[in-house]
Structure formats: structure tokens, C-alpha cells
Chains A and B, each alone.
Chain A
Amino acid sequence: MSTVPDDLQYSKEHEWVRADGDVATIGITHFAQEQLGDVVFVELPEKGATVRQFSSLGVVESVKAASDIYAPISGEVVERNVKVMEKPELVNTAPYGDGWMIKVRLADKGELTQLLSPTDYRSHIGETAGAGGD
């Protein structure tokens, strides 16, 4: 699996977005989980809450430290990943799969244009031609 999948968009704060119609899934990147180390706690907004682009939506805690998760796009939370709250290590083992964080109903699809493409995100984290992160 690529550490920066080609079918996603990214934020500079290391979140990813998978837009599907007017609903988008949000998570943190492989690079982010690697920097954090073992994730042991995830705090997410409840269904119905509103998140704003580039504002904190929740927190991931690793053994070492707590880090904010920033919303890469604005919208209403339609689902949060209860599984990742119960098993935070999913953030490490499957950051683009079962380790997703929330799904939101997009408030403004135009915001997606402010995100990074996979190529831009790769250069943002200093990764070249699909080599491993870090």
C-alpha cells in the first residue's frame, strides 16, 4: 500500500479526505500516525456536530503526546468511527481504512480545491517517488 494513496486529497496538517458525492470521509495520514507513534486514545465529535475547515475537530493521543486533528473541510458530522475510539491502534495499522475518523456532509464543495493533491502532499512531507515516509 502506498503511504500516500492516489485517490485522496490532503491537508498540510496531515489529514486526508475521501469525497464521495456530498459526504466526505476524514482520517489522518500514514505519515501522521508514524510521527505520533502508538495511538492510544481518540476523541471525536458527536454525530450532528459541525466542524470548520482547518479548525480542531478532535484529538489523537499517542503514548507520548496529544495532537489535534484539524478538519480539512467544513460540514456536519454524519458519522463518527466508534470502532477507532474503541481500538485506537487502528489509526496505526489502517490509517486509510478502518482507522478513519469521521464522515461529514460537505458544507461547501469549493473547499476541496484548497487541499493538496497526492503529489503535492508527497512533496510536503519530503517523500519522493513513492518511497517510504519519514
Chain B
Amino acid sequence: MATEAPTMRRTPLYDRHAELGAKMVPFAGYEMPIQYEGIVAEHRAVRGRAGLFDLSHMGEFFFKGRGAGATLDRLISSDIAGLAVGQARYGLLTNERGTIVDDVIVYRISEGEYMVVVNAANIAKDRAHVLARLGEDVAFDDRSYGTALVAIQGPRAVEILASTTDADVRTLPAFGVTHGRVAGSRATIARTGYTGEDGFEVFVANAEADKVWDALLGAGREAGMKPIGLGARDTLRLEARFSLYGNDIDETTDPIEAGLGWTCKLDKEFTGRDVIAAKKAAGPKRKIAGLVIQGGVGRHGHEVAHEGDVVGRVTSGTYGPTVEKNIALAYVPTPLSKIGTALAVRIRGKDVPATVVKTPFYRRPE
């Protein structure tokens, strides 16, 4: 009800975070762990060994019925009609103006059922967007608040998860999704993530979250796995150059300028397709560029300058613990988005030199 005072939601793992000594912060309406031991130590654990994340704030929408695939194919920019059972795909929820409502992963979990994972901050907005555009023969179910999500990421994630599940996770391909039991609890298991490492996302009912979390944390202890907060989640995703909704992309940005043209299947019908196709044909006026800043950390909102003139803004910026550089993403005029272009980021009134570089900033070793 609108008159109720807003209260922070807690994930079913809230008590676990408290026991582990996490610093909690408000995020997307939830009290979430930003760090346990420290961002850099957690970041390195994921790159070198493994890390465990509570991502239960994320939203889970289910689409069921004969018309589910067709509905999603129209709602989402990528090729959902071509998704086989057991496959997942990244895509964008777009609007009629051809801008980005959310970025999501669509999982075809059975012949007639799809799960769409949406950003926590966008659950209500996405639900309204979807409900206004539902097709025939499709039942929509928002199970965001009843579903827990635990992600296990890093080079040793596969062996740790394998020791707790009957599902054949070793042979599950990247972006594959399957069902099984983890620590005895029924789970949907996908080889997806947001870190640039190999890893899995495990979806269970809220009531099972504690058991699954404890089992995975215990199974990973010997391998040096650590619990990971949102702080390291952000440094990991930025090194891997994954977009963060609300920072790098939103309803004022389109897929082409955001570097997400590859998610748009322009030879099918989807919301905003014509606008996006026209934008692509004309060429975007601005583009998101990866920057390395020499001497200072760029942050969301910092101005980007070229020869003294402000030409854009930083959308995400941090120190990248693996690349050991200050990295950022920024929208700049297309001619200035070329690799090697010398720009500057205005940090505390000073123009600090920055160079446009190839992204991702980090790519995991083969």
C-alpha cells in the first residue's frame, strides 16, 4: 500500500551475512552485504579460486504456456525463439522508443516454461512493462520474493558445486541451465554469472537458501572460497565490462550507443526494433568507451573532457584489482570513442589524463 512506510527487505540469508561480519548497505530496497573481508581480497578470491554471492534480491519472472516463447521473443531484443530447452541468453527489455528498460537473462527451463532474471531495482517497473504487453496463451508469474539466488563463481566453482549436487554440472555448457538437487534441495542451476569467470547461479526456494548457502560455503572452504559482497561484484563485472543497469544503461540509452548492439536480433520483430535499426544504420552520435585513467579513480558522474571541453560523463569507474588500473566506462562522441584516443576525466577539478582502451579490461585466461 502506498501509505505504508518503506521498509528494507532482507534476503533469506540476512542472518548468515550478519554472522559472517558483513557490512550491510541499502541496495535496491534490500539490506545487502557490500563486503565481508574487503573488496580487493574478495575480488582476488573470485579470480583465483571461488566466491559465493547472495543475489536473492534479483527478480525472477516465469512465463508458461504455448505462447511464452513468442511473447518473450517480442519483448526481448535477442533471439529467444531460437532458445532450446536447457539454454539461456542475455538480452534487453526495450521500449517503443528503442531505449533500455532492463537487461535480463532468459532461461528456457522446460519445453513450455521460461525464467527471466531481472534487476532488483526494476522488478516493479519490469512487471508493469511485461503485463502491458503479454501475448496469447501465456501465464506470467512473478516469483521474485519467493526465490533465492546463490551464485558460485571462479575457476574452482565447478568442482565445489559438483561436490554438493547430483546435477552433471561439469558438462553443463556456458549459458546452459538444468535442474537438480543441491545439498538435497531442489534447484535450478545455470552456468551464468556476472564476474568474467566460469561459474554458476543456483536458484532455490527461500526456505532452502540457508541450507544451500551453508553447504556450498562448507564445500568451498578447502579451495579457499570466500563470501563475496556487492563491492567486489561491481569491480569484477566492470573489469569484465558487463553493463550495470542504472549506471551504464537506462531508459535514456539505446543498445547501439551502449555497445549492446550484439544483443539485438534486428531481423525479427521486438519492441523498439525499428528505432534501434534506424539508429544502427545512421550510426550512433555517442558511444560507450572503456577508459584507463592515469592517476585518480573515475566515478559515476565525473565529467570527461577532450582538449579542455566537456564531452561526456563517466557511468562506471573503479580501481580494477586484477588489471591494477583505474578503469571506467563513459559515453563520448563516437569519433572520440576510438581506441587510443587521449581524453581526460575531471576529478576534483583537475583534468586527469585517460586513454580509450579495448574492452573487456579483463579476459579470463583460456
Measured CB to CB, the nearest residue on chain B to A59 is B348
A63 contacts B321, CB within 8 Å?
Answer: yes
Choose the segment among A1-9, A38-46, A71-79 that binds chain B (4+ C-beta atoms closer than 8 Å). Answer: A38-46
CB of B38 to closest CB in A, whole Å: 6
CB of A43 to closest CB in B, whole Å: 7
Given contacts A38-B39, A41-B326, contact A63 B235 (CB under 8 A): yes
Contact of B231 (CB < 8 Å), options: A40, A59, A63? A63
B35 contacts A61, CB within 8 Å?
Answer: no
Main secondary structure of the interface of B (DSSP, over half): mixed
A43 to B295, CA, bound (A): 9
Given contacts A63-B231, A63-B318, A66-B299, contact A38 B348 (CB under 8 A): no
Residues of chain A within 8 A of B63, CB atoms compared: none
Main secondary structure of the interface of A (DSSP, over half): strand
What 1/0 mask marks residues of chain A from 51 to 73 whose CB sits below 8 Å from any chain B CB? 00000000101111110000000
Q: Which of A64-96 contact B (CB under 8 A)?
A: 64-66
Contact of B39 (CB < 8 Å), options: A43, A59, A63? A63
Residues of chain A within 8 A of B319, CB atoms compared: 40-41, 61, 63
A83 to B319, CA, bound (A): 19
B296 contacts A43, CB within 8 Å?
Answer: yes
Interface residues on A, range: 10 to 19
What 1/0 mask marks residues of chain A from 102 to 113 whose CB sits below 8 Å from any chain B CB? 000000000000
Given contacts A40-B319, A41-B319, A59-B348, contact A66 B297 (CB under 8 A): yes
CB of B176 to closest CB in A, whole Å: 33
Contact of B38 (CB < 8 Å), options: A37, A61, A65, A66? A37
Given contacts A59-B348, A63-B235, A63-B318, contact A37 B35 (CB under 8 A): yes
A124 to B326, CA, bound (A): 34
Residues of chain B within 8 A of A63, CB atoms compared: 39-40, 231, 235, 318-319, 321
Contact of A40 (CB < 8 Å), options: B41, B297, B299, B348? B297
| Extra A-B contacts (14), CB below 8 Å, given A37-B39, A41-B319 | A37-B35, A37-B38, A38-B40, A40-B297, A40-B326, A41-B296, A41-B326, A59-B348, A61-B297, A63-B39, A63-B319, A63-B321, A64-B39, A66-B299
B residues neighboring A (CB under 8 Å): 34-35, 38-41, 231, 235, 295-297, 299, 318-319, 321, 326, 348
A residues neighboring B (CB under 8 Å): 37-38, 40-41, 43, 59, 61-66
Q: List 13 A-B contacts (CB under 8 A).
A: A37-B35, A37-B38, A37-B231, A38-B39, A38-B321, A40-B297, A41-B297, A41-B319, A61-B319, A62-B39, A63-B40, A64-B39, A66-B348
